[in-house]
Structure 1
Amino acid sequence: MKPWIAALLVSAALPGASAAAEFPAERVIAMASGDWNKDGTQDLVVVATPGEDNGEDNGIYVYLAKPEENRLTLALAAPNSVWGNLTMYGQEPELAALANGSFTLTTKNDSVGRDRWRQSLTIAYRNFDFIVAGFTYSSYDTLDPNASSECDLNVLTGKGKARGQPFSGKAQFLLLQDWRDDIGRAACGLDN
């Protein structure tokens, strides 16, 4: 990891964050680095807790590198937008960098209750902003093997596959900060 990325995790200012201006490393749940804007330098995405137990969800923060200044700058702050926690195994949010310069944000419930699910958003940098390019969802009931759902949706084209059947819907260009999980679930017909 580059020294300036490590320095960011120790303390960085987060405009728009609901907690204090300090962003200590102990609030970081997940992180990934990759070249989001394809300028040849490593950028960073972080999922962090809100800092206080105030009922808010975690936030996602995306940073773009400014190598000439030897620092990262905040490109997107979306506090209270990522479900999950570290106190319950199987509910930790995950981030992963993809080879094409996008990244995935995965939320899940792999451990509590009979309804288990996993959801991944593929996030890409387009037109100087971060958009949701893909939505993948799967669920199952631990007591009913016939009660499962799955969907893989290309949000940009509206085409996907749900419950083993291809479908075509509305193509959408949605900014990450405007995304709501019910958008993907509705497009996949999962709420029916």
Structure 2
Amino acid sequence: MPTRRLLLPMLFLLPTFASAAEAIDPAHIVSATTGDWNKDGDADLALIVRPADGSDEDNGIYLYLAGKNGALELKSAIPNKVWGRVEVAGQTPSIEALPSGSLLIISHNDSVGRDRWEQKLTVAYRNFEFVVAGYTYSSYDTLDPDNTAQCDLNVLTGKGNSNDKPVATKGELVLLKDWNDDRGQKACVLQ
């Protein structure tokens, strides 16, 4: 897999380039992917990093862009952003590169309690910032098969579908660092 071949050498560089925030312990990396977020032809890097042991914060997101000579430069460090627990099966978050050059951040609960859900944030690089372009959410109740919810929303246009009905809200350019999951739930009329 080409992404993995590029990723391993880049990970060894992280302590040098993460100094703008803090050095990242490789054992705390939950998920990683490479792609070309700013469409300059160079491989960029995105990580989900779990917080320090004993912390009650959520996982952080670290977004790197290739700078001069291909060296990775930290563009955005967003702590306490992605829900999920690595130590619990069915709750580990992940990050993927999309063919469009966007990122897909996935959080979910497939294992604990009766309420199961999955959330996907599509993140794009626009105007030199990482923004939430799309919000997708689905859920179901393991004890009540008729209790389900689904929503797919284009955050930039404000248009989408929620439970097979059209929804519309004000389109927004929301920075990833400013995104709150309640915003998507409210727009999809799921609260």
Question: What's the TM-score bracket when you normalise by the shorter of the two chains?
Answer: over 0.9
- CA RMSD across the alignment: 1.5
Distance in 1 between residues matched to 2:90 and 2:17, nearest whole Å? 29
Identity value in percent:
48
TM-score (normalizing by structure 2): 0.93
Q: What secondary structure does 1:52 align onto?
A: coil
TM-score (normalizing by structure 1): 0.92
Letter in 1 for 2:135: F
Is 1:39 the counterpart of 2:40? The answer is: yes
Q: What secondary structure does 1:145 align onto?
A: strand
- Given that 2:82 and 2:93 are in contact with CA atoms closer than 8 Å, whether structure 1 keeps it comes out as yes
Q: 1:116 to 1:166 in 2, by over 3 A?
A: same
Distance in 2 between residues matched to 1:74 and 1:6, nearest whole Å? 13
Distance in 1 between residues matched to 2:26 and 2:71, nearest whole Å? 17
Letter in 2 for 1:103: L
- 1:51 CA drift (Å): 2.0
Is 1:66 the counterpart of 2:71? The answer is: no
Q: Name the structure 1 match of 2:106.
A: 106
Is 1:23 the counterpart of 2:24? The answer is: yes
Distance in 2 between residues matched to 1:8 and 1:48, nearest whole Å? 16
- 1:132 CA drift (Å): 0.1
Q: What secondary structure does 1:149 align onto?
A: strand
Distance in 2 between residues matched to 1:10 and 1:92, nearest whole Å? 24
Letter in 2 for 1:36: W
Letter in 2 for 1:96: E
Q: Name the structure 1 match of 2:10.
A: 5
Distance in 2 between residues matched to 1:163 and 1:14, nearest whole Å? 44
Q: Name the structure 2 match of 1:183.
A: 183
| Deviation string, structure 1 residues 145-184 (Cα, Å, up to 9, x no partner) | 1111000000000000000111221111100000000000
Displaced runs of 4+ in structure 1, greater than 3 A? 9-12
Q: 1:37 to 1:185 in 2, by over 3 A?
A: same
- Unpaired stretches in structure 2, ≥5 consecutive residues: none
- Given that 1:84 and 1:93 are in contact with CA atoms closer than 8 Å, whether structure 2 keeps it comes out as yes
Letter in 2 for 1:7: F
- 1:53 CA drift (Å): 1.3
- Unpaired stretches in structure 1, ≥5 consecutive residues: none
Distance in 2 between residues matched to 1:173 and 1:35, nearest whole Å? 20
